[in-house]
Amino acid sequence: MKLTLRVYGLLWRLVLPFALLRLWWRGRAEPLYRQYWAERLGWFNGKSASATTAGPRIWVHAVSLGETRAAAPLIEALREKLPQMQLLLTHMTATGRAAGAELLQPGDVQVWLPYDLPGPMRRFLRRFQPRAAVLMETEVWPNLAEQCRAAGVPVLLTNARLSARSASRWQRWPSLARVAWGGLYAAAQTPEDARRIQALGAAQATSLGNLKFDMRPDPALMQLGEQWKAAAARPVLLLASTREQGGQSEEALLLAALPLALAQRALLVWVPRHPQRFDAVAQLLAGQGHAVQRRSMGAPTAETAVWLGDSLGEMAAYYAMADAAFIGGSLLPLGGQNLIEACACGCPVVLGPSQFNFAAAAQAAIDGGAAVQAADAAQVWAAFARWLDDPPLRQQASQSARAFAAAHQGAAQRQADWIVENAGKALSQRPEADQ
pTM over 0.85: no
36 with 27: CB under 8 angstroms?
no
Residue-wise pLDDT for 381-416, tens only, equals 999 999 999 999 999 999 999 999 999 999 999 999
Per the document, the length of the chain is 435
- CA 57 to CA 84: how far, in whole Å? 9
Residue 275: pLDDT band (50, 70, 90) is confident
Residue 432: pLDDT band (50, 70, 90) is very low
Cβ density class 179-200: b for 16+ within 10 Å, e for less: bbbebbbbbbbbebbbebbbeb
Residue-wise pLDDT for 310-333, tens only, equals 998 899 999 999 999 999 999 999
Residue 431 pLDDT > 70: no
User: Residue 4, Cβ neighbours under 10 Å: how many?
Assistant: 16
Residue-wise pLDDT for 124-151, tens only, equals 999 999 999 999 999 999 999 999 999 9
Domain boundaries, the chain: 2-209+410-430, 219-407
Residue 76 pLDDT > 50: yes
- CA 368 to CA 388: how far, in whole Å? 20
Residue 427 pLDDT > 90: no
* pLDDT at site 53: 52
* pLDDT at site 183: 86
Q: Percent helix, strand, coil in the chain (nearest 5)? A: 50, 15, 35
391 with 400: CB under 8 angstroms?
no
Mean pLDDT of the chain: 92
308 with 278: CB under 8 angstroms?
yes
Within its chain, how far is the Cα of 419 from the centroid? 20
- Residue spans of alpha helices (H) in 113-160: 118-128, 142-151
Architecture in CATH of 2-209+410-430: 3-Layer(aba) Sandwich (3.40)
Residue 360 pLDDT > 90: no
Residue 433 pLDDT > 50: no
284 with 407: CB under 8 angstroms?
no
* pLDDT at site 54: 60
Catalytic residue among 39, 67, 250, 251: 67
**Phi/psi of residue 109, nearest 5 degrees:** -130, 140
Residue 428 pLDDT > 80: no
Residue 62 pLDDT > 60: yes
Residue-wise pLDDT for 186-216, tens only, equals 999 999 999 999 999 999 999 999 999 998 8
Residue-wise pLDDT for 341-355, tens only, equals 999 999 999 999 999
* pLDDT at site 425: 63
Residue 430 pLDDT > 80: no
DSSP assignment letter at 148: H
Q: Which positions ≥6 away from 352 have C-beta within 8 Å? A: 250, 326, 327, 328, 329, 330, 331, 332, 336, 373, 374, 376, 380
- Tell me if residue 67 is catalytic: yes
Residue 9 pLDDT > 60: yes
At the fourth CATH level, the homologous superfamily of domain 219-407 is: Glycogen Phosphorylase B; (3.40.50.2000)
What letter represents residue 175's amino acid?
S
Listing from the earlier edge strand, what are the strands of the sheet with 371-373? Answer: 292-294, 306-308, 267-272, 236-242, 324-327, 349-351, 371-373
* pLDDT at site 435: 35
Q: Which of 348, 358, 347, 271 is nearest to 315 (CA)?
A: 271
* pLDDT at site 47: 62
Residue-wise pLDDT for 29-51, tens only, equals 889 999 998 999 999 986 655 54
* pLDDT at site 48: 57
